[in-house]
Structure 1
Amino acid sequence: MAVLLRRYGYEVTRQTGSHMRLTTTQVGEHHVTIPRHGSLRVGTLSAVLSDVVEHLGISRQALVETLFGK
């Protein structure tokens, strides 16, 4: 997920245990914390996507298409 969010300027700013904090300065500074596991639970993925969509001011569909190519 961290690699995919690089498309929107997010970079890993710190890591604590099994979580990473990503930060972007696009459209103002924004932080999001994600688990470092290979797969995310549906609810966790949905929460991360909602947080990013709200910050960037784009549609959820546009974000999903950019990140996952659907």
Structure 2
Amino acid sequence: MSPKYPVLKPQEIIRALKKAGFREVSQKGSHFKLKKENPTSIVIIPMHEEVARGTLKSILEQAGISLEEFLKLYR
């Protein structure tokens, strides 16, 4: 696993994905669901204290966003 993936709080990831065009769909327990219409993508964010690097990598793959794109949205 590459250390270039940061360990972030779920709220930081959600904020960046909303900038990318995702919208809130629902929250069930400790998991937050975001959706983007074109192309259709659904991403589940675990609402833990921190999201691990591997989990962030999986979230970005599901969202169809590269790490570089995400980091631009995050900052």
Distance 2:67 2:51 in 1: 19
Q: Does 1:7 align with 2:19?
A: yes
Distance 1:20 1:10 in 2: 12
Q: Does 1:29 align with 2:43?
A: no
Give the alignment of 1:50-61 within 5 angstroms: 50-53=61-64, 60-61=66-67
Distance 1:61 1:36, change over 3 A: closer
Q: For residue 25 of structure 2, give the secondary structure of its aligned residue in structure 1.
A: strand
Distance 1:10 1:64 in 2: 13
Give the aligned partner of residue 63 of structure 1.
Answer: 69
Normalized per residue, which structure has more helix?
A: 1
Give the aligned partner of residue 44 of structure 1.
Answer: 55
Could you say what the CA RMSD is over the residues aligned between the two structures, in angstroms?
Answer: 1.8
In the TM superposition, residue 23 of structure 1 has moved relative to its aligned partner by: 0.5
Q: Given the two structures, how large is their TM-score scaled by the length of structure 2?
A: 0.69
List runs of 5+ in structure 2 lacking aligned partners: 1-12
In the TM superposition, residue 67 of structure 1 has moved relative to its aligned partner by: 2.5
In the TM superposition, residue 62 of structure 1 has moved relative to its aligned partner by: 3.5
